[in-house]
Amino acid sequence: MQVVSVSSLKGGVGKTTVTLGLASAAFAKGLRTLVIDMDPQSDVSAALASRSSHGYSIDSVLNNTSSSVVRQAVVPSSWTGPADVPVHIMMGSPAVSAHDKPTPTKQDLWKLEEALATIESQYDLVLIDCPPSFNGLTQTAWTAADSVVIIAEPGLFSVTAVHRTLLALQAMRLKMSPRLRTAGVIINRFRPDSPEHLFRLDEMKQLFGDHILEPILDETLTLQQSTGAAVPIHRWPGESAQTIARYFDRLLVKVLVEERF
């Protein structure tokens, strides 16, 4: 099981949309996938149109990491039918914000790692949608992760946010998890007709070099439409959707340590 945290220390960059795109690529590849909704806004839970009949969520798991609680917090997504390799979701909850402390203890930080150890044989890939801050929830997700992929848009504040995220990752490797690697930076919502976006993209390539993952994701309504309909982009009709799906296929290969599969 490979665990990837999808992160940004700046909100509004389309982090959840990219999480869903990578999940769709994993679904198309036939990987047994679990999406964990660590963001108190719980957008990825809403996008996957899932509901827990037990009332369990990521908040429940961080309060009690027993295998019974973990299993009840995980539910099937709306994407998968009886013949499909499953995509599951560990449900989000606004209540998880209680765990987003600015100075979490080491015991707090290990909780998700402990929870995932109880189900690791069931999944090939775990994608964690993190909140846009470097408090307890993001640090907990990173402690459980093998790698972190950073989401950014081509703007001034995203440039500084990527820099802060890379520094935070370095600190986490020293503090908690030497195995944690930086999977790279995915640029989202790029407008090729915008001089500002072209300038910032060039700036980010100069500053972050090999961290920038290709292809760059253009701003498009197609992703919003498939997300709103709770359908993976790989099953959304149209040439635009097929192009975006191929982009996410390529990005998933770069994010993952591919020899594990």
Those residues with Cβ within 8 angstroms of residue 180's Cβ, 6 or more apart along the chain or in another chain:
142, 145, 146, 147, 148, 169, 172, 173
Residue 8 is part of which domain span? 2-260
User: Given this model, what pLDDT does residue 145 score?
Assistant: 97
Q: Which CATH number belongs to the domain containing residue 152 in this structure?
A: 3.40.50.300
- DSSP, collapsed to helix, strand or coil, labels residue 3 as strand
- Indicate the pTM of the whole model: 0.95
Closest CA to 7 of 180, 205, 247: 180
Terminal alpha carbon distance of the chain = 10
Nearest to 25 by CA among 200, 196, 258, 228: 258
Q: What is the pLDDT along the chain (261 residues), one digit of tens a residue?
A: 999 999 999 988 999 999 999 999 999 999 999 999 999 999 999 999 776 667 899 999 999 999 999 999 999 998 877 778 889 999 999 999 999 999 999 999 999 999 999 999 999 999 999 999 999 999 999 999 999 999 999 998 999 999 999 999 999 999 888 889 999 999 999 999 999 999 999 999 999 999 999 999 999 999 989 988 989 999 999 999 999 999 999 999 999 975 443
201-205 long-range contacts (CB < 8 A, ≥24 apart) are 201/154, 203/159, 204/152, 204/154, 204/158, 204/159, 204/162
Residue 49: predicted pLDDT: 73
For the chain, the domain total comes to 1
